[in-house]
Amino acid sequence: MDVFRQLKSFYWPEKKLLFVSIFCLIAATALGLVYPNLLRYLIDEVIAKRQFELVPMLSIFVVVVVSFKGLLQFLHGFTGGRLGNRVAHSMRTALYKKLQYLSFQYYDQARTGDLMSRLTADLEAIRQFIGFGFAQILNVFLMLIFGMSMMFTINWQLTLLTMVTMPFLAFTAIRFEGKVHPAFRMVRQSMSTMTTAVQENITGVRTVKSFAREPHEVDKFTIRNNDFKANNIETASIWAKYFPVMEVLANLSVVILLGVGGFMVIRGQMTLGELVAFFSLIWYIIGPMWGLGFQINNFTQSKASGEKILEILHQYVHVKDHPDSIELKAKDVKGDVVMDHVTFAYPDKQPSLYDFSVHAPAGSVIGLLGGTGSGKTTVVSLLMRAYNVKDGSISLDGTDIKDIKVDSLRKQVATVFQETFLFSSNIRNNIAYGRKDVTMEEIIHAAKLAKAHDFIMELPLGYETIVGERGLGLSGGQKQRIAIARALIKDPKILILDDATSAVDMETEQEIQAGFKEVMQGRTTFIIAHRISSLKHADEIIVLKEGRIVQRGKHHELLEQEGPYRETYNIQYADRPETRSYQTQLEGRLAN
């Protein structure tokens, strides 16, 4: 029960519903003891003594008992349902909130399908158990106590004889729980893996089709589906192995009762009414013992689900505020950034940044150039505190960013990622995502700066046009321009452009950059790009290779030096006359 003790904060606030649900179920169960006594009285008093005038009164009594028991069962179902749904609602909210605040480091390893499974199937298992399963398990033990107590009052010798198989039945049930719990964990894990495969396939359906890899994806899914099937079969095998044993042990008690009890009736040691009542009571006990397997199944499923939910709730948040963190005020932020001897490595990987230092005065533009894996994105990820710096420090206006509240820091930073993500909403909401109080005029102004307004107005509903999932229905360049508008409308002090114009043509890039000149004024801007045309206006350009700075300076200074920057420039501008003229002049100066 340790899992449910850890989840106590979710269901204990609803303890009134829990206690009412349990009380109603126990009361309804206790009323079930009326029937055996009624049978005994009917046979021994009414039929044997021919007191048939009591039948109408007994009939009315039965109707009252049945009606009251039905009311109690209704209240149990109603309160149990409310309890389960309220607890599931609270847990779902807590899980979603936790997922929102988990660090980038967690999502580097997490799988979307697995997280979706925990928010749906695992929560449903918890809802069912807390709403009804816990009360049912408690009810099983109370039925055993009630039933055996009444059986002892009728004939204690016969009670002991018929109960001789119950310890074996309980032992089998405990063994069953020990086997079926690990099996259900495997079922949950394989289901999560299979869900992830489906999610990834649907997300990447265009890539799959463009490479004609449908058969490969079917084969990959078949493997995961087979694992899921095998784990379910293993679980079913455990059920098939233990349930017949439990059934035999349960029915053995009935055989003992009929044999010994019938003999005692013949010898006059007990009445026929007592034997019939005893027979009713034994099934009153065997019923819960039969259902014990189902309740154990319910319990083990919910326990396995609870463990997976607790894994998320107990997940350590690597990037978080400390008690003395300060809140930035937008009007006081200038945007002076200093990264001092920063070295950083992702978990279980080689360092991706070595001894990196840069000073970006407020309003300056810093360009980052380098090949894939050179550390460019790591620089800006650390700046927005996606990860914590271990060696070195990063400061904003003289304050270490570790001493600034994360939310407060990120409100002053706007990022346009290379991989553009748009929400399944209209274009207006996508652009306005970073601000609550935004006017339509501001949205249009940001779109114009990003050179997105013209194509938006050509869409059927303009800014009210619904964007498909992940921006499907728009070209890569269109999505990127909407993402740029979304960043600009945030009015940040620090602007990060991570290859923000990679999906647009050269002409559109020049138009966007012309708009950037206006919005960059007064903002510290970091530009990651593979095109030198996006960087040449920067106040300082830093060239990275394998996490190390290999060159730094202004555009014209780097062209004077031999190195990767000039090599990249020559490749990108090789066909332009001005490039050939420049190279000739440079070679002449070097020769002299």
Within-domain flag for 462: no
Looking at residue 264, its pLDDT comes to 85
**Position 513 pLDDT exceeds 70:** no
Residue 37 lies in a domain: yes
95-145 pLDDT, tens digit per residue, is 999 988 888 888 877 777 678 878 888 888 889 888 888 888 888 888 888
Contact by Cβ (8 Å): 546, 350: no
Q: How far apart are CA 233 and CA 236, in angstroms?
A: 5
Does the residue 463 lie in any domain?
Answer: no
pLDDT of residue 256: 82
Higher pLDDT, 590 or 56: 56
pTM of the predicted model, to two decimals? 0.72
Q: Mean pLDDT across the chain, nearest whole number?
A: 83
Task: Note whether residue 256 is domain-resident.
Answer: yes
pLDDT at 581 (0 to 100) = 52
pLDDT digits 0-9 by tens, 387-399:
888 889 999 999 9
Looking at the domain assignment, is residue 144 inside a domain? yes
How far is residue 361's CA from residue 320's CA, in Å, rounded to a whole number? 26
Residues 186-192 have a mean pLDDT of 81
Average pLDDT over residues 520-548: 86
Report which of residues 418 and 388 the model is more confident about.
Answer: 388
Mean pLDDT value of segment 284-311: 78
Q: What is the pLDDT of residue 591?
A: 47
Q: Report, in angstroms and rounded to the nearest whole number, the Rg of the chain calculated over CA atoms.
A: 36
* Nearest-5° Cα angle at 288, 166 to 293: 85
pLDDT of residue 366: 93
Task: Please give the Cα distance from 391 to 344 (Å, whole number).
Answer: 7
pLDDT, tens only, 200-247: 787 777 677 776 778 888 888 898 899 989 988 988 888 888 878 877
Q: In this structure, is residue 373 part of a structural domain? A: no
Number of domains in the chain: 1
CA neighbor of 375 nearest in space, from 543, 169, 147? 543
Q: In the predicted model, what is the mean pLDDT of residues 85-93? A: 92
Question: Do residues 299 and 135 touch, judged by C-beta distance below 8 A?
Answer: no
CA 542 from centroid of its chain's CA atoms: 39
Full domain range(s) for residue 35: 2-313
374 assigned to some structural domain: no
- What would the pLDDT profile of 439-485 be if each residue is shown by its tens digit? 999 999 888 888 889 889 988 888 998 886 555 567 777 888 888 88
How is residue 59 written in tokens? 């009939």
361 within domain boundaries: no
Alpha-carbon dihedral sign for residues 459, 462, 464, 469: positive
Residue 489 DSSP symbol? T
Burial class from Cβ neighbours inside 10 Å (0-12, 13-18, 19+) for residue 527 reads: buried
CATH code where residue 289 lies: 1.20.1560.10
Share of the chain above pLDDT 70, in %: 90
Sequence-ordered list of residues with C-beta below 8 angstroms from that of 228, at least 6 positions apart, any chain: 187, 190, 191, 193, 194
First-residue to last-residue Cα distance in the chain:
85
Note the pLDDT of residue 358: 93
**Confidence at residue 86, expressed as pLDDT on a 0 to 100 scale:** 93
Higher pLDDT, 276 or 20: 20
